């Protein structure tokens, strides 16, 4: 009788923009993944329909968000922040891999 579902709140503009940037960067990898799995139609859709739309949306947000001199400073700051975040994640991943390898080596030496 009554619709009790809540309306989904919109994400902040900077978060939407960040997600679009991630999606644009991931498009070639998604296409290759679909092709590798034999899903040629999905790869086609991403390459020629979804991909261009996501790129267009990103261009529009870039134009809106990074206009003017303050926009250039914001863009540079966000790029640097993103770069440092990716480096930190890569370091964490490598440390985790090293720990996993060490545990594996310890298990092997205990068995002997």
Would you list the domain boundaries of the chain?
13-65
d(CA 97, CA 104): 10
Q: Does the reported pTM lie above 0.85?
A: no
The residues near 66 (Cβ < 8 Å, ≥ 6 apart) are: 72, 74, 75
- How confident is residue 81, by pLDDT bands cut at 50, 70 and 90? very high
- pLDDT tens-place string over residues 10-52: 888 888 888 999 999 999 999 999 999 999 999 999 999 999 9
Please provide the size of the chain in residues: 112
Checking if the pLDDT of 6 tops 80, the result is no
Residue 45 CB-half CA count within 13 A: 5
């Amino acid at each position: 009788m009554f619709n009790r579902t809540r309306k989904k709140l919109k994400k902040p503009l900077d978060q939407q923009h960040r997600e679009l940037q991630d999606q644009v960067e991931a498009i070639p990898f998604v296409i290759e993944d679909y092709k590798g799995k034999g899903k040629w139609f999905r790869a086609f859709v991403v390459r020629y329909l979804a991909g261009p739309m996501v790129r267009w949306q990103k261009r529009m947000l870039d134009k809106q968000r990074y206009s003017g001199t303050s926009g250039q400073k914001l863009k540079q700051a966000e790029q640097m922040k993103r770069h440092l975040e990716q480096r930190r994640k890569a370091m964490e991943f490598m440390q985790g891999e090293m720990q996993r390898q060490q545990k594996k080596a310890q298990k092997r030496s205990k068995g002997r």
